[in-house]
Amino acid sequence: ALTAGIVGLPNVGKSTLFNAITKAGAEMANYPFATIDPNVGMVEVPDARLARIQELIPAKKVVPTTFEFTDIAGIVKGASKGEGLGNKFLENIRQVDAIVHVVRAFEDDNITHVNNKVDPLDDIETINLELGLADLETIDKRLAKVEKAAKGSDKEAKAELSVLEKIKPVLEAGKGVRTIEFDEDEMPIVKGLFLLTSKPVLYVANVGEDEMGDPESNQFINQIRDYVKDEGAEVIGVAAASEEEIASMEEADKAEFLEMEGVEEPGLNRLIRASYKLLGLETFFTAGGKETKAWTYHKGTKAPQAAGIIHSDFERGFIRAEIMGFNDLDKYETHAAVREAGRLRQEGKEYVMEDGDIVEFRFNV
Ligand code: GDP
Protein backbone atom coordinates (compact mmCIF):
# COMPACT_ATOMS: atom_id res chain seq x y z
CA ALA A 1 0.00 0.00 0.00
CA LEU A 2 1.13 3.54 -0.65
CA THR A 3 2.00 5.56 2.39
CA ALA A 4 2.42 9.27 3.16
CA GLY A 5 5.22 10.01 5.62
CA ILE A 6 4.91 12.81 8.16
CA VAL A 7 8.22 14.63 8.33
CA GLY A 8 9.42 17.72 10.19
CA LEU A 9 11.73 19.21 12.81
CA PRO A 10 11.23 18.22 16.45
CA ASN A 11 8.45 20.05 18.33
CA VAL A 12 6.55 21.29 15.30
CA GLY A 13 3.48 19.14 16.04
CA LYS A 14 4.09 15.96 14.06
CA SER A 15 3.03 13.57 16.83
CA THR A 16 0.04 15.74 17.62
CA LEU A 17 -1.04 15.52 14.00
CA PHE A 18 -0.31 11.81 13.81
CA ASN A 19 -2.33 11.25 17.00
CA ALA A 20 -5.23 13.11 15.44
CA ILE A 21 -4.96 10.84 12.40
CA THR A 22 -4.78 7.63 14.41
CA LYS A 23 -7.61 8.72 16.75
CA ALA A 24 -9.78 9.47 13.76
CA GLY A 25 -8.72 6.09 12.36
CA ALA A 26 -9.21 4.17 15.59
CA GLU A 27 -12.94 4.71 15.32
CA MET A 28 -13.02 2.95 12.00
CA ALA A 29 -15.12 -0.19 12.03
CA ASN A 30 -13.50 -3.52 11.22
CA TYR A 31 -10.00 -2.23 11.12
CA PRO A 32 -7.53 -4.39 13.07
CA PHE A 33 -5.92 -1.25 14.29
CA ALA A 34 -3.97 -2.51 17.25
CA THR A 35 -2.08 -5.10 15.29
CA ILE A 36 -0.13 -2.83 12.99
CA ASP A 37 3.05 -0.85 13.41
CA PRO A 38 2.59 2.01 15.94
CA ASN A 39 4.16 4.36 13.43
CA VAL A 40 1.52 3.57 10.84
CA GLY A 41 -1.99 4.97 10.98
CA MET A 42 -4.93 4.22 8.71
CA VAL A 43 -7.43 6.93 7.86
CA GLU A 44 -10.74 6.95 6.12
CA VAL A 45 -10.89 9.28 3.15
CA PRO A 46 -13.71 11.74 3.85
CA ASP A 47 -15.78 11.87 0.66
CA ALA A 48 -19.13 13.68 0.54
CA ARG A 49 -20.03 11.80 -2.65
CA LEU A 50 -20.65 8.65 -0.62
CA ALA A 51 -23.52 10.23 1.30
CA ARG A 52 -25.07 11.51 -1.92
CA ILE A 53 -24.83 8.08 -3.57
CA GLN A 54 -26.41 6.53 -0.48
CA GLU A 55 -29.24 9.04 -0.69
CA LEU A 56 -29.95 8.15 -4.34
CA ILE A 57 -29.14 4.41 -4.32
CA PRO A 58 -29.65 3.27 -0.74
CA ALA A 59 -27.51 0.35 0.39
CA LYS A 60 -27.40 -1.54 3.71
CA LYS A 61 -23.95 -0.18 4.49
CA VAL A 62 -21.60 2.58 3.33
CA VAL A 63 -17.88 1.87 3.36
CA PRO A 64 -15.32 4.65 2.77
CA THR A 65 -11.88 3.87 1.43
CA THR A 66 -8.73 4.14 3.54
CA PHE A 67 -5.02 4.76 3.20
CA GLU A 68 -1.91 4.96 5.29
CA PHE A 69 0.19 7.55 7.06
CA THR A 70 3.62 6.84 8.54
CA ASP A 71 5.02 8.91 11.39
CA ILE A 72 8.70 9.59 10.82
CA ALA A 73 10.54 10.65 13.98
CA GLY A 74 12.10 14.11 14.16
CA ILE A 75 14.79 14.86 11.68
CA VAL A 76 17.53 17.26 12.76
CA LYS A 77 20.29 19.30 11.24
CA GLY A 78 23.15 16.94 10.40
CA ALA A 79 20.87 13.99 9.66
CA SER A 80 22.59 13.39 6.33
CA LYS A 81 25.85 12.97 8.28
CA GLY A 82 24.22 10.30 10.42
CA GLU A 83 23.68 12.59 13.39
CA GLY A 84 20.73 11.99 15.75
CA LEU A 85 19.89 8.64 14.21
CA GLY A 86 19.90 10.62 10.97
CA ASN A 87 20.48 7.73 8.64
CA LYS A 88 17.57 5.82 10.06
CA PHE A 89 15.25 8.78 9.48
CA LEU A 90 16.44 9.14 5.93
CA GLU A 91 15.92 5.42 5.35
CA ASN A 92 12.39 5.75 6.72
CA ILE A 93 11.70 8.63 4.38
CA ARG A 94 13.06 6.57 1.50
CA GLN A 95 10.32 4.00 2.18
CA VAL A 96 7.39 6.40 1.87
CA ASP A 97 5.68 7.38 -1.37
CA ALA A 98 4.97 11.01 -0.55
CA ILE A 99 6.07 13.49 2.09
CA VAL A 100 3.79 15.47 4.38
CA HIS A 101 6.18 18.11 5.67
CA VAL A 102 4.95 19.76 8.89
CA VAL A 103 6.28 23.17 9.90
CA ARG A 104 5.53 25.21 12.98
CA ALA A 105 3.44 28.28 12.34
CA PHE A 106 1.95 28.69 15.85
CA GLU A 107 3.32 30.94 18.56
CA ASP A 108 3.54 29.51 22.06
CA ASP A 109 6.25 30.65 24.46
CA ASN A 110 5.86 27.47 26.49
CA ILE A 111 6.98 25.28 23.64
CA THR A 112 10.59 25.54 22.64
CA HIS A 113 11.49 25.71 19.03
CA VAL A 114 14.67 23.81 18.14
CA ASN A 115 16.04 26.95 16.51
CA ASN A 116 14.64 29.24 19.23
CA LYS A 117 12.27 31.09 16.95
CA VAL A 118 9.16 30.37 14.94
CA ASP A 119 10.37 30.55 11.37
CA PRO A 120 8.67 28.06 9.06
CA LEU A 121 10.83 28.99 6.05
CA ASP A 122 13.93 28.20 8.04
CA ASP A 123 12.33 24.90 9.16
CA ILE A 124 11.67 23.96 5.54
CA GLU A 125 15.16 24.91 4.47
CA THR A 126 16.76 22.90 7.28
CA ILE A 127 14.94 19.71 6.38
CA ASN A 128 15.21 20.10 2.64
CA LEU A 129 18.92 20.75 2.98
CA GLU A 130 19.37 17.43 4.78
CA LEU A 131 17.32 15.59 2.19
CA GLY A 132 19.21 17.31 -0.61
CA LEU A 133 22.60 16.42 0.89
CA ALA A 134 21.54 12.80 1.18
CA ASP A 135 20.50 12.84 -2.49
CA LEU A 136 23.77 14.45 -3.50
CA GLU A 137 25.57 11.59 -1.81
CA THR A 138 23.46 9.10 -3.77
CA ILE A 139 24.25 10.95 -7.01
CA ASP A 140 27.97 11.04 -6.34
CA LYS A 141 28.02 7.32 -5.61
CA ARG A 142 26.22 6.58 -8.89
CA LEU A 143 28.49 8.97 -10.80
CA ALA A 144 31.56 7.13 -9.56
CA LYS A 145 30.06 3.87 -10.89
CA VAL A 146 28.69 5.14 -14.17
CA GLU A 147 31.27 7.65 -15.43
CA LYS A 148 33.76 5.05 -16.57
CA ALA A 149 31.21 2.77 -18.21
CA ALA A 150 29.74 5.75 -20.07
CA LYS A 151 33.08 6.37 -21.77
CA GLY A 152 32.68 3.10 -23.65
CA SER A 153 29.69 2.02 -25.69
CA ASP A 154 27.37 1.30 -22.74
CA LYS A 155 24.18 3.09 -23.77
CA GLU A 156 22.45 2.66 -20.42
CA ALA A 157 25.41 4.13 -18.58
CA LYS A 158 25.43 7.09 -20.97
CA ALA A 159 21.74 7.71 -20.38
CA GLU A 160 22.16 7.52 -16.61
CA LEU A 161 25.20 9.76 -16.72
CA SER A 162 23.27 12.47 -18.49
CA VAL A 163 20.49 12.26 -15.89
CA LEU A 164 22.98 12.41 -13.03
CA GLU A 165 24.68 15.43 -14.59
CA LYS A 166 21.34 17.13 -14.95
CA ILE A 167 20.44 16.52 -11.29
CA LYS A 168 23.73 17.31 -9.57
CA PRO A 169 23.91 21.09 -10.16
CA VAL A 170 20.30 21.50 -9.08
CA LEU A 171 20.99 19.78 -5.76
CA GLU A 172 24.19 21.80 -5.39
CA ALA A 173 22.12 24.94 -5.79
CA GLY A 174 19.99 23.81 -2.83
CA LYS A 175 16.94 22.84 -4.86
CA GLY A 176 15.03 19.59 -4.85
CA VAL A 177 14.93 17.08 -7.71
CA ARG A 178 11.16 17.62 -7.94
CA THR A 179 11.84 21.06 -9.42
CA ILE A 180 13.43 19.43 -12.51
CA GLU A 181 11.46 18.42 -15.56
CA PHE A 182 12.39 15.04 -17.00
CA ASP A 183 11.36 13.52 -20.30
CA GLU A 184 9.82 10.09 -20.73
CA ASP A 185 13.18 8.36 -21.22
CA GLU A 186 14.73 10.00 -18.19
CA MET A 187 11.83 9.31 -15.84
CA PRO A 188 12.48 5.60 -15.18
CA ILE A 189 16.16 6.34 -14.52
CA VAL A 190 15.22 9.01 -11.97
CA LYS A 191 12.75 6.65 -10.35
CA GLY A 192 15.45 4.01 -9.98
CA LEU A 193 17.61 6.41 -7.98
CA PHE A 194 15.05 6.59 -5.11
CA LEU A 195 15.89 10.20 -4.37
CA LEU A 196 14.31 11.83 -1.32
CA THR A 197 13.74 15.23 -2.94
CA SER A 198 11.99 13.67 -5.93
CA LYS A 199 9.06 12.48 -3.83
CA PRO A 200 5.89 14.55 -4.03
CA VAL A 201 5.54 16.87 -1.05
CA LEU A 202 2.74 18.67 0.73
CA TYR A 203 3.55 21.36 3.29
CA VAL A 204 1.40 21.57 6.39
CA ALA A 205 1.57 24.78 8.40
CA ASN A 206 0.66 23.90 11.97
CA VAL A 207 -1.25 27.02 12.93
CA GLY A 208 -2.45 28.20 16.35
CA GLU A 209 -5.61 26.84 17.94
CA ASP A 210 -7.16 30.30 17.73
CA GLU A 211 -6.64 30.13 13.95
CA MET A 212 -8.37 26.77 13.56
CA GLY A 213 -11.46 28.35 12.01
CA ASP A 214 -9.45 30.37 9.52
CA PRO A 215 -5.97 28.93 8.93
CA GLU A 216 -5.53 31.28 5.98
CA SER A 217 -5.29 34.16 8.46
CA ASN A 218 -2.01 32.76 9.80
CA GLN A 219 0.81 35.26 9.38
CA PHE A 220 3.19 32.76 7.77
CA ILE A 221 1.00 30.88 5.35
CA ASN A 222 1.42 33.03 2.25
CA GLN A 223 5.11 33.34 2.89
CA ILE A 224 5.36 29.54 2.92
CA ARG A 225 3.30 29.27 -0.26
CA ASP A 226 5.57 31.72 -2.00
CA TYR A 227 8.69 29.97 -0.74
CA VAL A 228 7.73 26.54 -2.12
CA LYS A 229 6.16 27.59 -5.40
CA ASP A 230 9.22 26.38 -7.38
CA GLU A 231 8.36 22.89 -6.25
CA GLY A 232 4.75 23.23 -7.32
CA ALA A 233 3.84 22.10 -3.82
CA GLU A 234 0.52 22.63 -2.08
CA VAL A 235 0.43 24.29 1.37
CA ILE A 236 -2.39 23.79 3.83
CA GLY A 237 -2.95 25.22 7.29
CA VAL A 238 -4.11 22.91 10.06
CA ALA A 239 -4.24 23.44 13.83
CA ALA A 240 -2.82 20.10 14.96
CA ALA A 241 -3.68 20.59 18.63
CA SER A 242 -7.33 21.37 17.83
CA GLU A 243 -7.50 18.47 15.39
CA GLU A 244 -6.28 16.07 18.05
CA GLU A 245 -9.00 17.33 20.38
CA ILE A 246 -11.68 17.09 17.71
CA ALA A 247 -10.64 13.57 16.77
CA SER A 248 -11.36 12.35 20.29
CA MET A 249 -14.77 14.05 20.62
CA GLU A 250 -18.17 12.38 20.44
CA GLU A 251 -20.01 13.08 17.19
CA ALA A 252 -22.44 15.57 18.79
CA ASP A 253 -19.68 17.55 20.53
CA LYS A 254 -17.67 17.51 17.34
CA ALA A 255 -20.52 19.01 15.32
CA GLU A 256 -21.08 21.69 17.94
CA PHE A 257 -17.40 22.56 18.11
CA LEU A 258 -17.09 22.84 14.33
CA GLU A 259 -20.14 25.05 14.16
CA MET A 260 -18.69 27.30 16.83
CA GLU A 261 -15.51 27.60 14.80
CA GLY A 262 -17.57 28.28 11.70
CA VAL A 263 -16.08 25.43 9.67
CA GLU A 264 -17.87 22.64 7.83
CA GLU A 265 -15.43 19.89 8.62
CA PRO A 266 -12.23 19.22 10.57
CA GLY A 267 -9.03 20.53 8.98
CA LEU A 268 -7.82 16.95 9.15
CA ASN A 269 -10.22 16.12 6.31
CA ARG A 270 -8.49 18.64 4.05
CA LEU A 271 -5.13 17.18 5.00
CA ILE A 272 -6.29 13.63 4.32
CA ARG A 273 -7.72 14.48 0.90
CA ALA A 274 -4.65 16.48 -0.10
CA SER A 275 -2.36 13.60 0.94
CA TYR A 276 -4.47 11.08 -0.99
CA LYS A 277 -4.16 13.21 -4.11
CA LEU A 278 -0.45 13.68 -3.48
CA LEU A 279 -0.03 9.91 -3.57
CA GLY A 280 -1.68 9.82 -6.99
CA LEU A 281 -4.72 8.00 -5.62
CA GLU A 282 -8.27 8.27 -6.93
CA THR A 283 -11.61 6.71 -6.04
CA PHE A 284 -14.24 4.67 -7.84
CA PHE A 285 -17.48 3.46 -6.30
CA THR A 286 -19.65 0.37 -6.31
CA ALA A 287 -23.18 1.27 -5.28
CA GLY A 288 -26.35 -0.23 -3.90
CA GLY A 289 -27.34 -3.64 -2.54
CA LYS A 290 -25.38 -4.89 0.46
CA GLU A 291 -22.96 -2.02 0.45
CA THR A 292 -21.96 1.15 -1.27
CA LYS A 293 -18.23 1.28 -1.25
CA ALA A 294 -15.38 3.59 -2.21
CA TRP A 295 -12.33 1.89 -3.73
CA THR A 296 -8.85 3.31 -4.12
CA TYR A 297 -6.84 2.91 -7.32
CA HIS A 298 -3.72 4.51 -8.74
CA LYS A 299 -4.36 7.22 -11.27
CA GLY A 300 -4.04 5.65 -14.73
CA THR A 301 -5.43 2.22 -13.78
CA LYS A 302 -7.44 0.45 -16.51
CA ALA A 303 -10.85 -1.14 -15.95
CA PRO A 304 -9.77 -4.81 -15.61
CA GLN A 305 -7.13 -3.96 -12.99
CA ALA A 306 -9.66 -1.82 -11.13
CA ALA A 307 -11.98 -4.85 -11.13
CA GLY A 308 -9.09 -6.87 -9.71
CA ILE A 309 -8.93 -4.55 -6.71
CA ILE A 310 -12.36 -5.89 -5.73
CA HIS A 311 -11.62 -9.52 -6.53
CA SER A 312 -9.04 -11.31 -8.67
CA ASP A 313 -11.88 -13.27 -10.35
CA PHE A 314 -13.35 -9.99 -11.59
CA GLU A 315 -10.09 -9.20 -13.35
CA ARG A 316 -9.54 -12.70 -14.75
CA GLY A 317 -13.05 -12.94 -16.19
CA PHE A 318 -13.42 -9.26 -17.08
CA ILE A 319 -15.89 -8.60 -19.93
CA ARG A 320 -16.75 -4.93 -19.58
CA ALA A 321 -17.59 -2.24 -17.07
CA GLU A 322 -20.90 -0.42 -16.91
CA ILE A 323 -20.10 3.05 -15.67
CA MET A 324 -21.86 6.25 -14.74
CA GLY A 325 -19.92 9.25 -13.53
CA PHE A 326 -20.80 10.54 -10.07
CA ASN A 327 -21.70 13.92 -11.53
CA ASP A 328 -24.23 12.31 -13.85
CA LEU A 329 -25.89 10.39 -11.02
CA ASP A 330 -25.89 13.57 -8.96
CA LYS A 331 -27.60 15.40 -11.84
CA TYR A 332 -30.09 12.78 -13.12
CA GLU A 333 -30.63 11.12 -9.73
CA THR A 334 -31.45 7.57 -10.84
CA HIS A 335 -29.68 4.85 -12.76
CA ALA A 336 -32.58 4.78 -15.25
CA ALA A 337 -32.47 8.53 -15.82
CA VAL A 338 -28.71 8.40 -16.37
CA ARG A 339 -29.30 5.67 -18.97
CA GLU A 340 -32.08 7.66 -20.67
CA ALA A 341 -29.81 10.67 -20.88
CA GLY A 342 -27.35 8.48 -22.76
CA ARG A 343 -24.77 8.86 -19.99
CA LEU A 344 -24.50 5.22 -18.98
CA ARG A 345 -21.26 3.97 -20.54
CA GLN A 346 -20.08 0.51 -21.52
CA GLU A 347 -16.31 0.45 -21.19
CA GLY A 348 -13.83 -2.22 -22.25
CA LYS A 349 -10.37 -3.51 -21.36
CA GLU A 350 -8.50 -0.36 -22.38
CA TYR A 351 -10.66 2.09 -20.42
CA VAL A 352 -8.70 4.24 -17.99
CA MET A 353 -10.67 4.74 -14.76
CA GLU A 354 -11.80 8.23 -13.83
CA ASP A 355 -12.20 9.59 -10.33
CA GLY A 356 -15.86 9.34 -9.30
CA ASP A 357 -16.80 6.47 -11.64
CA ILE A 358 -19.69 4.41 -10.28
CA VAL A 359 -19.09 0.95 -11.65
CA GLU A 360 -20.70 -2.39 -12.21
CA PHE A 361 -18.23 -4.93 -13.57
CA ARG A 362 -19.43 -7.68 -15.92
CA PHE A 363 -17.31 -10.78 -15.82
CA ASN A 364 -17.26 -14.51 -16.61
CA VAL A 365 -16.90 -16.85 -13.68
P1 GDP B 1 6.81 16.72 17.28
O2 GDP B 1 8.10 16.69 18.00
O3 GDP B 1 6.93 17.43 15.97
O4 GDP B 1 6.14 15.42 17.16
O5 GDP B 1 5.86 17.71 18.12
P6 GDP B 1 4.66 17.37 19.12
O7 GDP B 1 3.46 16.95 18.36
O8 GDP B 1 5.13 16.50 20.20
O9 GDP B 1 4.35 18.85 19.64
C10 GDP B 1 5.29 19.55 20.42
C11 GDP B 1 4.56 20.39 21.43
O12 GDP B 1 3.80 21.40 20.74
C13 GDP B 1 3.56 19.59 22.24
O14 GDP B 1 3.59 20.07 23.57
C15 GDP B 1 2.22 19.93 21.61
O16 GDP B 1 1.15 19.86 22.50
C17 GDP B 1 2.43 21.35 21.13
N18 GDP B 1 1.62 21.70 19.96
C19 GDP B 1 1.45 21.00 18.81
N20 GDP B 1 0.61 21.66 17.98
C21 GDP B 1 0.26 22.80 18.62
C22 GDP B 1 -0.58 23.91 18.28
O23 GDP B 1 -1.20 23.97 17.21
N24 GDP B 1 -0.67 24.93 19.20
C25 GDP B 1 -0.01 24.88 20.39
N26 GDP B 1 -0.15 25.89 21.25
N27 GDP B 1 0.76 23.85 20.74
C28 GDP B 1 0.91 22.83 19.88
Cβ(114) – ligand 1 distance below 6 Å: no
Q: CA–CA separation, 365 vs 363, rounded Å?
A: 6
Cβ(103) – ligand 1 distance below 6 Å: no
Closest-CA residue, ligand 1 atom 26, reads 108
Cβ(237) – ligand 1 distance below 6 Å: no
Cβ(108) – ligand 1 distance below 6 Å: yes
Select the CATH number that applies to the domain covering 300-363 from these four: 1.10.10.10, 3.90.1150.10, 3.10.20.30, 2.40.30.10.
3.10.20.30
Closest-CA residue, ligand 1 atom 6, reads 13
Q: CA–CA separation, 329 vs 150, rounded Å?
A: 57
In which region does residue 17 sit, left (phi positive, over 0), alpha (psi from -120 to 50) or beta (all else)? alpha
Superfamily per CATH, domain 3-48+64-118+201-278: P-loop containing nucleotide triphosphate hydrolases (3.40.50.300)
pLDDT score for 310? 95
What distance separates the 2 farthest-apart alpha carbons in the chain? 71
- Find, among 162, 164, 99, 160, the residue nearest to 137 by Cα: 164
Q: How far is the CA of 208 from the centre of ligand 1 (A)?
A: 10
Strands 98-104 and 3-7: parallel
pLDDT score for 27? 57
- Find, among 128, 82, 78, 135, the residue nearest to 103 by Cα: 128
* Per-residue CA distances from 70 to 43, 88, 139, 198, 233 (Å): 11, 14, 26, 18, 20
ipTM of the complex: 0.91
How is the beta sheet containing 281-286 ordered, strand by strand? 59-63, 289-298, 281-286, 357-363, 318-325, 345-347
Q: Give yes or no for a contact between 294 and 63, defined as CB atoms under 8 angstroms apart.
A: yes
Neighbours of 25 (CB within 10 A): 20
> Which of 16, 114, 220, 242, when mutated, tests ligand 1's pocket best, judged by the most ligand atoms within 8 Å of its CB?
16
Cβ(356) – ligand 1 distance below 6 Å: no
Q: Which residues of 33-58 are buried (b: 16+ CB within 10 A; e: fewer)?
A: eeeeeeebbbbbbbbebbeebbebbe
pTM: 0.89
Q: How far is the CA of 6 from the centre of ligand 1 (A)?
A: 14
Closest-CA residue, ligand 1 atom 11, reads 11
Cβ(8) – ligand 1 distance below 6 Å: yes
pLDDT score for 84? 52
Domains of the chain by residue range = 3-48+64-118+201-278, 131-197, 300-363
pLDDT score for 104? 94
pLDDT score for 74? 59
Successive 10-residue mean pLDDT values, the chain, 365 residues: 90 91 66 59 93 97 93 68 67 92 89 79 92 95 92 91 97 95 96 95 96 94 94 95 94 94 94 96 96 97 97 95 98 97 97 98 91
Cβ(154) – ligand 1 distance below 6 Å: no
Q: CA–CA separation, 40 vs 297, rounded Å?
A: 20
Which atom of ligand 1 is nearest the CA belonging to 16?
7
Q: CA–CA separation, 263 vs 213, rounded Å?
A: 6
pLDDT score for 41? 87
Superfamily per CATH, domain 131-197: Obg-related GTPase Ych/YyaF, coiled-coil domain (1.10.150.300)
Q: CA–CA separation, 220 vs 105, rounded Å?
A: 6
Cβ(241) – ligand 1 distance below 6 Å: yes
